[in-house]
Amino acid sequence: MKRVYADNNATTQVAPEVLDAMMPYLTEKYGNPSSMHEFGGQVGKVIEDAREKVALALGAQNATEIVFLSCGTESDNTAIRSALATKKDRRKIVTTRVEHPAVLTLCRHLEREGYQVRYLPVDRQGNLNLDDLRDAMDDQVAVVSIMAANNETGVLYPVAEAARIAHQHGALFHTDAVQIMGKVPLNLQETDIDLLSISGHKIHAPKGIGALYIRRGSRFRPMILGGHQERGRRGGTENVPGIVALGKAAELSLQHIDDEQTRVRALRDRLETALLRIPNSIVNGDRDNRLPGTLNISFEFVEGEAMLLMLDQVGICASSGSACTSGTLEPSHVLRALGVPFSFAHGSLRFSFGRYNNDADVDHIIETLPPIIERLREISPFKPA
Amino acid sequence: MAWNYSELVKQHFFQPKNVGRVENADGTGDVGSIACGDALSLTIAVDKNTDIITDAKFQTFGCGSAIAASSMLTEMIKGKTLDEALKVSNADIAKALGGLPPEKMHCSVMGREALEAAVNNYRGITPEAHDEEEGRVICTCFGVTEGKLRHVIAENDLRTLEDITNYTKAGGGCGACIDELEILLEEHLQQKPHTPTPTAARQPLTNLQRISLIQELLDHEVRPILQEDAGDLELVDIDGLRVTIRMVGQCSGCRAAGLTTKWIEDKLREIVDPAIELHVKEDL
């Protein structure tokens, strides 16, 4: 059976070039970079090489601004906790209602620790109004954390402008950029962004590696204390194969941005046009302000998990924001923040394309999904009018 | 998250039986809503003379297990009289499907509710009259009434808040009703509706009946209370009227152990047989 992997916002296939680059560090080059001998020392050099590559991909000024750690979630947690620790006299956090759980769960926890958190709303298209951010700012805000692109809808947020607003009030600015990297060019030097989080497995490196950008000159408090690794900013023996992989993946991501913006965007648009022919369907998220490969689309009167099970039968991997798939009993917090009507929110599907998708993948979805929806609508007591 | 569905659930989802509506249905049961994420419309045909359900069809909006539970329900009630059909519990539906993931038990409850609603509709019991029985809405997110909660908690002997959410969805939204759910749960745990009838009302017990009654009593009434204090017991042996247990966890070596064993012995004597002798085996 043909497998169509259309869930690249969840995770991506490790690129063969990435696997080749990391392989020696899983086999013969197993030295510890902290060791005094040359066998370990040479491994230390490849870490610095990877750091350069990640810095270049992000448009950072200096490689020392990059700290390697275990994943996007650790990066988000480290960034926000560090910002709070270095702005001790300030007790407020501003974020959005549509953040990834890596940020939202932490913020809810921080509320219990006594911080005041303001969750900015988004409009029906999923867009943020920067006036809401301006209204939320005062000299008590320690950190503003706004994602660069939403994982469910693909909607992009004006983080460069938001960072300027944060700085006007003396707050630090953090962005979760795990979804945007490799899809939209980034040039951190030209922005006020202080802290930025990325994750390896979203850009064709393996799981278990991430990075945090910390603007040069910013104060920083590490979250994981230990040895002197990463200049004392993240204790623990380096995940050398992961770091090498992230470096290679970052390098490749720069080369593939054009492909994402043209070919991958065309795949997404073709699927979108075809699926919108299905009656009672709507796209969730601003169609003009989105990641190029993401399509979040809802079909009324059918439920997301049921569609996913049937798609799985024909080899298609996608995801959904329905209650039965969100691990709770309510549809995804992102779709609720957009105000997607419940009848549509339960029937949402997310397709996310990337480097390895092609026209045949889109054809397979266009052939198989409409009959699945038709069949589930036959079973459903609710029908299109 | 990928659900671990049984083969039977998959079968009834991918090839559901009895999809559609019975023409000129004698009874219709509509439960759930699009907002809640699942809804079931059950239609039945009933033979007026025999009260037998001659046909049953469903339409369901919902996830894989909701569709599978609806399909299984129609298969289970066809050919039964109304009274027989009403004996089908949500647990029976789940069991017939080879089990459901705990988070999906509410799908079987929805099936059971649709059945009740369809039978009530056939018997002319109006939804309004039925609603009054149901009492006020406790979980406003999912519209779950006090009546439904009491019924489902008792019928499935639910023991935790998580169970209640898995079976009824109540408490799975904003969480504002958690305190009220705690009260209902507490009431159920204290009432212990599973208390076996005392011996006085029973026929003399066979050996096998006595063993299973002792086990039931220990499992449902005694151990949960010990477990609250991080203790427990193990049933070592039942030899006629001589019951041997071993105390474990915090109960082992507890200074109040004497009182606890006395209380257990009293319970056994009251419920099973006044001549029961309880022995506690000491750990070596």
Domain ranges, ordered by start, for chain B:
7-125, 130-191, 199-280
- The beta-carbon neighbor of A379 closest among B1, B16, B34 is B16
On whether both A129 and A221 belong to a single domain, the answer is: yes
| pLDDT, mean over chain B | 86
Q: What's the pLDDT score for residue B224?
A: 85
Alpha-carbon span A202 to A205, nearest angstrom:
7
On whether both A129 and A184 belong to a single domain, the answer is: yes
Active site residue A324: yes
Statement: residue A354 has pLDDT above 50: yes
**Interface residue B37 vs chain A (CB under 8 A):** yes
> Cβ contacts of residue B38 below 8 Å, gap of 6+?
A303, B32, B60, B61, B62, B63, B66, B106, B107, B110
Q: What's the pLDDT score for residue A187?
A: 96
**Interface residue B13 vs chain A (CB under 8 A):** yes
On whether both A302 and A171 belong to a single domain, the answer is: no
In a domain, A384, yes or no: no
**Interface residue A343 vs chain B (CB under 8 A):** yes
Chain B residues in contact with A379 by the CB 8 A cut-off are: 16, 19, 59-61, 67
Say what the alpha-carbon torsion angle A158, A164, A166, A169 is, to the nearest 10 degrees.
-150
Domains held by chain A: number = 2
> Cβ contacts of residue A296 below 8 Å, gap of 6+?
A152, A153, A154, A283, A284, A285, A321, A348, A349, A350
CB pair distance less than 8 Å for B3 and A328: no
CATH topology classification for B130-191: Arc Repressor Mutant, subunit A (1.10.10)
Statement: residue B47 has pLDDT above 90: yes
Chain B residues in contact with A330 by the CB 8 A cut-off are: 37, 141, 172-173
- Tell how far CA A223 is from the center of its chain: 21
| Whole-number percent of chain A with pLDDT over 90 | 95
| pLDDT, mean over chain A | 96
On whether both A202 and A279 belong to a single domain, the answer is: no
* Final residue before a domain boundary, out of A252, A280, A301: A252
In a domain, A188, yes or no: yes
On whether both A374 and A245 belong to a single domain, the answer is: no
* Final residue before a domain boundary, out of A252, A282, A310: A252
On whether both A213 and A303 belong to a single domain, the answer is: no
On whether both A33 and A57 belong to a single domain, the answer is: yes
Statement: residue B3 has pLDDT above 80: no
Alpha-carbon span A321 to A311, nearest angstrom:
15
Task: Write the CATH number for A102.
Answer: 3.40.640.10
Chain A residues in contact with B13 by the CB 8 A cut-off are: 306, 309
In a domain, A142, yes or no: yes
Alpha-carbon span A126 to A124, nearest angstrom:
5
On whether both A73 and A21 belong to a single domain, the answer is: yes
The distance of A323 to chain B (nearest Cα, Å) reads 7
Q: Which residue has the higher pLDDT, B244 or B133?
A: B244
In a domain, A347, yes or no: yes
In a domain, A385, yes or no: no
In a domain, A294, yes or no: yes
Statement: residue B244 has pLDDT above 80: yes
Q: Which CATH number fits domain B7-125: 3.90.1010.10, 3.30.365.10, 2.20.70.10, 3.30.450.20?
A: 3.90.1010.10
**Interface residue B107 vs chain A (CB under 8 A):** no
Task: Write the CATH number for A331.
Answer: 3.90.1150.10
Q: Kindly report, residue by residue over A264-301, the tens digit of the pLDDT.
A: 999 999 999 999 999 999 999 999 999 999 999 999 99
**Interface residue B231 vs chain A (CB under 8 A):** no
Chain B residues in contact with A325 by the CB 8 A cut-off are: 1
Q: Kindly report, residue by residue over B159-216, the tens digit of the pLDDT.
A: 898 889 889 888 888 888 988 899 899 888 887 655 554 544 456 777 778 888 888 8
Chain B residues in contact with A307 by the CB 8 A cut-off are: none
ipTM of the complex: 0.89
Candidates B63, B107, B177, B251; catalytic one: B107
On whether both A133 and A244 belong to a single domain, the answer is: yes
Where does B7-59 have alpha helices with state H?
7-14
> Cβ contacts of residue A78 below 8 Å, gap of 6+?
A67, A69, A212, A222, A223, A224, A234
Alpha-carbon span A370 to A277, nearest angstrom:
9
Q: Kindly report, residue by residue over A33-68, the tens digit of the pLDDT.
A: 999 999 999 999 999 999 999 999 999 999 999 999
With cut-offs at 50, 70 and 90, classify the pLDDT of residue B137: confident
Average pLDDT over residues B59-83: 96
- Strand ranges, E, within chain B: 27-33, 38-46, 53-61, 137-139, 144-145, 231-239, 242-249, 277-280
In a domain, A269, yes or no: yes
On whether both A95 and A234 belong to a single domain, the answer is: yes
The CATH superfamily of B199-280 is Fe-S cluster assembly (FSCA) (3.30.300.130)
Residue B97, both tokens: 């499907």
- Strand ranges, E, within chain A: 4-5, 66-69, 92-96, 116-120, 141-145, 172-176, 195-199, 210-214, 281-283, 294-299, 316-317, 348-352
On whether both A246 and A274 belong to a single domain, the answer is: no
State the residue range of the domain holding A348: 4-11+257-379
CB pair distance less than 8 Å for A343 and B35: yes
On whether both A99 and A24 belong to a single domain, the answer is: yes
**Interface residue A309 vs chain B (CB under 8 A):** yes
* Final residue before a domain boundary, out of A228, A252, A276: A252
